[in-house]
Chain A
Amino acid sequence: MIWHIFKKDLRLVWHMVTAVALIGWLYTITNYHNDHTVSNPWRMDTLLMIVQILASTLLVVSVVQLDALPGVRQDWLIRPINRRDLLLAKLLFVLLMVQGPIFAADVAVALADGFPAGQALLTSLLRSINYFTFFLAPTLAFASITGSFTETIVAVVASAAAFFGLMQMINIQFPWHWRVVGTNDVFWVVELCVLAILAAGVAAVLMVQYFMRRTTAARWMTASISLLLVVANFMPWQPVFAIQQRLSRDPGVASAVRLEFQPSLGRYREPSGTRTFYQRHGREEGIVLHIPIAITGLPTDSVLRTDLMTARVTGPDGKTADLGFGNARSVWSEDSAIAGDRPDYPLYVGAAAFGRFRDQTLRLDIESSLTLLRLNDTRAIEALDGQQTIAELGRCQSNVNRSGTAVHVDCLQAGTTPPCTTFTLEHAANGTRNPPVVRCEGDYDPFFMQILPDALKRVNVQVFFRDPAERFHLPVDGSQLRESRVVMRLYRPEAHFTRHVVIPHFRLSDWLPL
């Protein structure tokens, strides 16, 4: 009877199915167009994405409420309709009529972009699983606990307000927890937890609703799951990084890496000449201290990335307190142009902590969670009109940007991209090089977890050959582009590990930037 119910639903909402599919394809065509043009992108992509999400929501809610579960007037309640068949028919509908066109569009675009069929199918399938679990399945479950479309809209708005309000409240109360996990390369662990909670929660709500029709219980379950999702977003760092550590490809490669406090380097000089404050919500929240820490034992062609640094102070009385944190700092072993002239560790210290400890001599404990990335591959693409397929970055092309100041490298990948890559403009004949451009923004996620905008990852980098402000001259300039190429160095995470630095006598005021 699953197919029979499916056909009835389709007959009732075919016009909505058509509209959602059309919007989806329009969005896909817009994205495809924008991926293949530098000069004339269509501006409506974001709007279409929002419209597609809203239209999909509307369709899912409508199809579930054709046989609404709450309420006492629904005709189907007194018909011999198997609840399991009804649930499966709704799932089938969402998969075929909502997720199906999205999957088909993803596959079509990946194939049109020249990716092999297997890769196109796998990436589109993974994105579809993510999209379904993160968005469509929860929408389906939510629609099953509401009796009408108006009720759903009111409930969605109220729940979203409560959810984000709670997130914001916790964020304000414990600002640094959110910042650490929310902006870090290991956030995929949190995403995976959220995914698991959502999958289990949705299954539980649907079971309770479709097999027992206990709306009040299902609503309480939904509220509890939402609360659990909030909590999951504030997972403590240690267990998250411990999971990442277990996934190290080659833990031994980092055994020689040492971190050591190096006071001889002196105080940090701000390039702007002014002291750095860090801000949140437009408010100054504290100060950025730069602690000179020497790093030794890095293997050649490697990058050391600080995923998180936490600092703790201990007073003469033995009492300890959190001082602050730092993250997303990378040190290159092979290129001082990237690493800078001194390996500083920016440490964000809250105003209250700074005021309290500013002039005290304390013991400082710095715990660093680190990732060592090693050069995995080096590839090059012509600076002008280059086209190259690179396994890790996908299909890349290069062109001069509209303002004539940089080579624009665009890569489209059906799958994951390396977390760190450098792009260097290099004269092919004489070896002259401009300073590299660093792109370190990927997650360490072991598999493709993207939901939006589609199943493709995009790497867009501007490799400058001319300073737009004309302040300085670069070795490889616009006149040499025809003989030049962009060298791409791709780094792969090999080891995730921790190091502990102890500074027995440390006074914050001594290390304020100049």
Chain B
Amino acid sequence: MIEASNLWKKFGRHDALRGLSFTVPEGSAFALIGANGAGKTTTIKILMNIIAATRGTAKVLNVDSRRMSTQELARIGYVSENQDMPEGLTVDQYLNYLRPFYPAWDRDLEMTTRRDLRLPPERKIRDLSHGMRMKMSLACALPFRPQLLVLDEPFSGLDPLVRDEFMEGLLRQASEMTVLISSHELSEIDGIATHVGFLDEGRLLFEESMSDLTDRFREVHVTLERLAHAPDQVPKDWLHVRVMGNVLAFVDTRFKEEKLGERIGSVLQGVRRVDTQPMGLRSIFTTLARATRDAAVS
């Protein structure tokens, strides 16, 4: 559905993207995660042909993103917190305006979405709150049943109630389309994403399916017979290693149940007990972000 290949983007002397490559499989919900300034929005804007890449190519719906025509755009829904919509139009007027551009626009779905998102039809866009705008943006992106839905920081600044409404509106259709989502709200993505890509300073550190990711990340607590200290040689795939009394805790990024004991035994002596815990996306993200930051500092 999306294929980005060696994307580079320079803003002046700053490299916002540095050779970014990733693939979003059809039917997946791909979460692009990364710290502020990692290049998530830049990547999405290149994919949407809003800005041009300095180097590299991207294919969206099997078409070079620079050559996307109205046919392709009619199959893409885009929701961003930074969308400038015609402020002087009412919600009703803007949806009426957009409708003829989409051959697949479904009036019934539009009415359902509007009702669920509780959008005031006569209110002008300029008078909508931030949350309302985001819902408006979603209401404009769903009724034509897009094959690809791109969400750029959709949860930013939304209160829990609006977020729930937004998610309900989104999830109703999520199974019918491919979703590319960038967000800091990892707990929300956790329930949607099937694939994840971790972006750091314009580089993709990894991309894989959510199940592979959660399978290979474990919070590991090793209880030792005496007071613990960090081993001199910490394996590369152990992150966030810390000592608490006689417990050594770390995040295993290559977790395999059957090999864990053997791997711990090769590094630590006097192991009394090993506890492992699956990690949520938020924890994985913060661990990776911290590790990347520490590596940059050192």
A-side interface residues toward B, CB under 8 Å?
1, 4, 8, 11-12, 66, 71-75, 77-82
> A75-B86, A82-B70 provided; 6 other pairs, C-beta below 8 A?
A72-B45, A77-B50, A78-B48, A79-B98, A80-B70, A80-B101
| B82 CB contacts on chain A under 8 angstroms | 72-73
Q: Give the tally of cross-chain contacts (CB within 8 A).
A: 51
- In whole Å, how far is A16's beta carbon from the nearest beta carbon of chain B? 11
- In whole Å, how far is B135's beta carbon from the nearest beta carbon of chain A? 15
Give which listed residue, A4, A8, A73, contacts B89 with CB less than 8 A: A8
B100 within 8 A of A: yes
B64-79 Cβ-contact flags toward A at 8 Å (1 or 0): 0000001101101010
Q: A8-B89, A11-B89, A12-B89 are in contact. Are A75 and B84 (CB under 8 A)?
A: yes
Counting chain B CB atoms within 10 Å of each CB, which of A1, A66, A75 scores highest? Answer: A75
| Residue contact B89 to A1, C-beta cutoff 8 Å | no
| Residue contact A80 to B84, C-beta cutoff 8 Å | no
B286 within 8 A of A: no
B-side interface residues toward A, CB under 8 Å?
45, 48-51, 70-71, 73-74, 76, 78, 80, 82-86, 88-89, 93, 97-98, 100-102, 140
| B88 CB contacts on chain A under 8 angstroms | 11-12
| Residue contact A75 to B85, C-beta cutoff 8 Å | yes
B98's nearest neighbour on chain A, judged by CB, is A79
| Residue contact A11 to B101, C-beta cutoff 8 Å | no
Q: A1-B100, A1-B101 are in contact. Are A78 and B78 (CB under 8 A)?
A: yes
- Ordered by A's residue number, 26 sampled pairs between the chains whose C-beta atoms are within 8 Å are A1-B101, A4-B97, A4-B100, A8-B86, A8-B89, A8-B93, A11-B89, A11-B93, A12-B88, A72-B45, A72-B51, A73-B83, A73-B84, A75-B84, A75-B86, A75-B140, A77-B48, A78-B73, A78-B76, A78-B78, A79-B73, A79-B98, A79-B101, A80-B74, A81-B70, A81-B101
Task: Give Cα distance in the complex from A75 to B81, angstroms.
Answer: 11
| Residue contact B102 to A8, C-beta cutoff 8 Å | no
Task: Give Cα distance in the complex from A75 to B86, angstroms.
Answer: 8
| Residue contact A8 to B97, C-beta cutoff 8 Å | yes
- In whole Å, how far is A426's beta carbon from the nearest beta carbon of chain B? 65
| Residue contact A80 to B102, C-beta cutoff 8 Å | yes
- In whole Å, how far is A17's beta carbon from the nearest beta carbon of chain B? 13
A13's nearest neighbour on chain B, judged by CB, is B88
| Residue contact B89 to A74, C-beta cutoff 8 Å | no
| B84 CB contacts on chain A under 8 angstroms | 71, 73-75
Give which listed residue, B48, B50, B71, B89, contacts A80 with CB less than 8 A: B71
| Residue contact B86 to A66, C-beta cutoff 8 Å | yes
B81's nearest neighbour on chain A, judged by CB, is A73
Task: Give Cα distance in the complex from A77 to B100, angstroms.
Answer: 16
Task: Give Cα distance in the complex from A74 to B82, angstroms.
Answer: 9
| A8 CB contacts on chain B under 8 angstroms | 86, 89, 93, 97
- In whole Å, how far is B99's beta carbon from the nearest beta carbon of chain A? 10
B73's nearest neighbour on chain A, judged by CB, is A80
- In whole Å, how far is B263's beta carbon from the nearest beta carbon of chain A? 47
| B71 CB contacts on chain A under 8 angstroms | 80
- In whole Å, how far is B5's beta carbon from the nearest beta carbon of chain A? 22
| B73 CB contacts on chain A under 8 angstroms | 78-81
